[in-house]
């Protein structure tokens, strides 16, 4: 059987096989754009999880993805923060409850592997989307199109390229977009646990002197753990035998969920941050970790990426209604203007919170403690923080 010939020119080429790339491809293809997705197979299974807020879930619901994965996700109804730094100035315990906002849940936590599998299936059956299971090896940005080439000499042209190819993005580097990078003296140890006691749909974050120790619900009596440590501390944890590691983690969790049993292999990731100097180039937009990277605090990473996609979809559908070229400079500027504030605010907020846990400077500790005290005692302030954590700007929109 002859291979299907690719169109001479797509509306949009999306590069990247992670959740951001696949969701962007589905969202734009569903709007009627002719799309091509470059998505090589992932090298190994991903045992990590992602907490998705309501706005992100609504996007997945619109794309027909959520109905098939909701049964494998755990609702997040409360978020509990506990100061376990042991320092002189400590913050009071604070619990954020979705019931205060008249919600059934803040969102859901799901295994990345479950999300990726469903996205891959949906992309493979989407009529307006062509999937190329290869990496892009070179890219040329022209006046009226972008040309992307693979290692097998497959060449595809599109009027706009969406770079979702991660923090080491070929498309971003080819467009000579500068980035600011920084690192933290921390390593995240990530694994899943079974536990004796039910989690009651409560996500618990212990603030420690090395960073957050966070237990996020999974279906049943399981939770995902992100334990942020020094490099030496992470190495010590990873060197422990399974039984010893289970006991150590239970101790750090103050036996809140009873005895632990490992449910996945531990993984570790050095913490770092990155922001792109701009979010657009010639016939190019950046989304997801191609544009911004920060530590796994407050479940902001993928949710911020999906807001990139929501705003990109809005800008491109608006441009099409005016018969505008999707890769025109004015269209790309509109996307960048919509996204810059959110990206910078979230990146700075997560960076500040993480560094506030690491510093021994008393005024910073006092400021953090005061903020959490106010969140615990003042209802309107607490509810504003909850709304802003999920949907930026929602607290400042006029009530209808």
pLDDT at 354: 67
Please tell me the distance from the alpha carbon of residue 140 to that of residue 155, in angstroms, as a whole number: 11
Query: 49 by DSSP, 3-state: which?
Result: strand
Q: Which of the four pLDDT bands, split at 50, 70 and 90, describes residue 391? A: low
What is the sign, positive or negative, of the torsion defined by CA atoms of 15, 17, 19, 24?
Answer: positive
CATH architecture of 10-50+113-180+276-358: 3-Layer(bba) Sandwich (3.50)
pTM for the full model?
0.87
CB atoms within 10 A of CB 39: 25
Both tokens of 189, joined, read: 């140890």
Q: Is the pLDDT of residue 2 over 60?
A: no
Please tell me the distance from the alpha carbon of residue 253 to that of residue 233, in angstroms, as a whole number: 16
Tell the CATH superfamily of the 66-111+184-271 domain. Answer: D-Amino Acid Oxidase, subunit A, domain 2 (3.30.9.10)
Please tell me the distance from the alpha carbon of residue 255 to that of residue 207, in angstroms, as a whole number: 16
pLDDT digits (tens, 9 = 90+) for 36-78: 999 987 665 677 899 998 899 999 999 999 999 999 999 999 9
Contacts of 64 (CB under 8 A, 6+ apart): 122
**Higher-pLDDT residue of 269, 391:** 269
Please tell me the distance from the alpha carbon of residue 149 to that of residue 137, in angstroms, as a whole number: 6
In what order do the strands lie in the sheet containing 74-76? 49-53, 107-111, 74-76
Category of 203 on φ-ψ map: left (φ > 0), alpha (ψ -120 to 50) or beta = beta
CA distances from 55 to 61, 294, 310, 336, 349 (A): 10, 20, 10, 20, 20
Domain ranges of the chain: 10-50+113-180+276-358, 66-111+184-271
| H-run or E-run covering 269 | strand 267-276
Q: Is the pLDDT of residue 400 over 60?
A: no
Q: Is the pLDDT of residue 273 over 60?
A: yes
pLDDT digits (tens, 9 = 90+) for 300-320: 678 999 999 999 999 999 999
User: Across residues 329-345, what is the average pLDDT?
Assistant: 93
pLDDT digits (tens, 9 = 90+) for 130-149: 999 999 999 999 999 999 99
Please, are residues 124 and 26 in contact by the beta-carbon 8 Å criterion? no
Instruction: Label the pairing between strands 10-15 and 155-163.
Output: parallel
């Amino acid at each position: 059987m002859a291979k299907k010939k690719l169109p001479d020119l797509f509306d949009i080429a999306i590069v990247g096989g992670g959740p951001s790339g696949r969701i962007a491809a589905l969202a734009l293809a569903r709007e009627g754009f002719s799309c091509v997705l470059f998505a090589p197979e992932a090298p190994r299974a991903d045992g990590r999880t992602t907490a998705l807020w309501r706005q992100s879930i609504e996007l997945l619901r619109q794309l027909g993805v959520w109905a098939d994965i909701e049964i494998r996700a755990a609702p997040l109804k409360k978020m509990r923060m506990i100061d376990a730094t042991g320092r002189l100035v400590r913050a009071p315990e604070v619990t954020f409850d979705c019931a205060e906002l008249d919600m059934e849940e803040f969102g859901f936590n799901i295994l990345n592997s479950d999300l990726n599998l469903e996205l891959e299936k949906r992309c493979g059956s989407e009529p307006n989307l062509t999937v190329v299971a290869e990496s892009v090896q070179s890219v040329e940005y022209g006046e009226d199109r972008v040309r992307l080439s693979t290692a097998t000499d497959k060449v595809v042209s599109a009027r706009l390229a969406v770079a979702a190819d991660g923090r080491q993005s070929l498309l971003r580097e080819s467009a000579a977009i500068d980035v600011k990078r920084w690192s933290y003296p921390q390593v995240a140890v990530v694994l899943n646990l079974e536990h004796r006691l039910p989690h009651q749909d409560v996500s618990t974050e212990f603030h420690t002197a090395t960073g957050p120790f966070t237990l996020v619900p999974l279906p049943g009596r399981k939770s995902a753990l992100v334990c942020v440590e020094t490099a030496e501390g992470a190495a010590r944890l990873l060197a422990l035998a399974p039984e010893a590691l289970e006991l150590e983690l239970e101790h750090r969790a103050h036996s809140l969920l009873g005895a632990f049993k490992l449910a996945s292999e531990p993984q570790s990731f050095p913490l770092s941050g990155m922001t792109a100097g701009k979010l657009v180039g010639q016939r190019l937009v950046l989304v997801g970790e191609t544009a911004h990277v920060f530590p796994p605090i407050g479940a902001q990473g993928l949710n911020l990426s999906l807001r990139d996609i929501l705003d990109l979809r809005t800008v491109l559908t608006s441009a099409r209604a005016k018969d505008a070229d999707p890769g025109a400079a004015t269209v790309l500027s509109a996307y960048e203007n919509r996204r810059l504030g959110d990206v910078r605010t979230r990146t700075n907020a997560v960076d500040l919170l993480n560094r506030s846990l690491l510093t021994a400077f008393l005024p910073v500790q006092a400021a953090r403690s005061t903020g959490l005290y106010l969140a615990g005692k003042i209802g309107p302030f607490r509810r504003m923080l909850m709304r802003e954590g999920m949907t930026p700007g929602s607290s400042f929109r006029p009530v209808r």
